[in-house]
Amino acid sequence: MKHPNLILFFIALGLFGVFTVEFSVIGLLPMVVERYGVSVAQAGMLVSVFALFAAIGGPLMVLWLAKYSRKRVLIGSLMIFALCCVLSAWAPDYQTLMVLRALPGLMLTVFFSLAFAAAVALYPPQKAAFATSMALMGESVGLVFGLPLILFFAHTFSYETAFLFCAAVCVIAAAGLLRLPDSKQNEQGKTADALVILKKPLLWLGLLATVAVLSSMFGVYSYATEYLLGLGMNANTVSLLMMVFGIGGLAGNVIAGRALAKNIKLTAVAYPFVLALAYAALYAFASPNIAVMALLCAVWGAAHISGLVVSQFWVSSSAEEAPEFATSLFVSAANVGVTVGAASGGWFISNFGIQSSLWAGWGFALLAVVFFAVSLVLKKRELVSG
């Protein structure tokens, strides 16, 4: 295959685009409130509706679209994202904007699932972890830098320009994916074939581990701004530290991808301990000193974002018969983890103060170790019995 690295770049760009679309509205909430005359809580529902449709409807969409070629579905998904962004820029009312958030939510899981399957298919099996981590780099960049970019376009130009930026990214990525080979989705054309993986205990353990990992990550990260402000830092310094956090996250993605390629089992079991140690460093050394916090945020970011590639690769390896459907289930589990983690961290903070969110992180990290360990025992038994 010619130019697999270039195709992988456009897959990553597409992931950057769709995740920027998902979280762009967070930065635009004050403008949405003013534009449509709704409350902050109502504006926040635009985020929840997107995640809800991604978590519940996404796997069903993956099954429904399984009979079509991977290339066509990927490009079609990006064009739907682009169209909804353009329409969102001039949505006449709040209700219309809500509908325009729901449809991309359904397509997020579809694009995410097929994008990783397409990325892995570009390379030989021994480079599967590399392809996964590089594709996930696009998601990580979207999660970390998408919001600042949206704020830049909205405040420098206009509210509409922010949406048009997202649309442009999706269109460019779609054009780049025209180079992608037009292949079937691993012949996964029948719903029954995909549903067979639901009988696998290893898949369910992987999904539970994903919920635990994401809960640990977002039990702390959801309150990162409040945590840093609580140390006595101003808003500008916090923004800078979150950028450092993002850069650390990108480095963590690369490191995790290489570690998975060498030993997926050891990497999976070790990851929750790495995340817990990052939280321990925050607990022990956090201070108003900018240099100290920059180092801590870089380490925290590396540990945090690498959790995505570790848990996603673990789930995929547990259901190789239907990788697209398995990845769609991963997306749903990840959204559950984000919700559970944010709620748990909020409970700890409400009852014990801002720093106590770290206890939510530690608790779920321990739970993740349990799920990964049980998975390893089960895999070993299957090998022995096989």
Taking CB atoms within 8 Å and a gap of at least 24, the contacts of 29-33 are: 31/154, 31/159, 32/94, 32/97
Cα gap 275→365, rounded to integer Å: 7
Q: Is the pTM of this model over 0.95?
A: no
* pLDDT score, position 189: 46
Digit-by-digit pLDDT tens for the chain (386 residues) are 567 888 889 998 999 998 888 766 766 777 888 899 987 667 767 776 787 788 788 778 877 887 788 899 999 999 999 999 999 999 999 999 999 988 888 888 888 888 878 888 888 877 777 777 777 777 767 766 776 778 778 878 999 999 999 999 999 999 999 988 876 654 444 555 566 777 788 889 989 999 999 989 988 887 777 788 788 887 678 778 877 887 888 888 888 888 888 888 889 899 999 999 999 999 999 989 999 999 999 999 899 988 888 898 888 777 766 666 777 788 888 878 877 887 788 788 878 887 888 999 999 999 999 999 998 888 777 655 55
Structural domains of the chain in order of their starting residue, each with its CATH number: 1-188 (1.20.1250.20), 191-385 (1.20.1250.20)
Does the CA dihedral 76-153-41-297 come out positive or negative?
Answer: positive
Distances in whole angstroms, Cα of residue 195 to Cα of each of 64, 112, 199, 316: 12, 19, 8, 14
H helix runs in 92-158, sequence order: 94-121, 128-156
Task: Pull the structure tokens for residue 319.
Answer: 């259901």
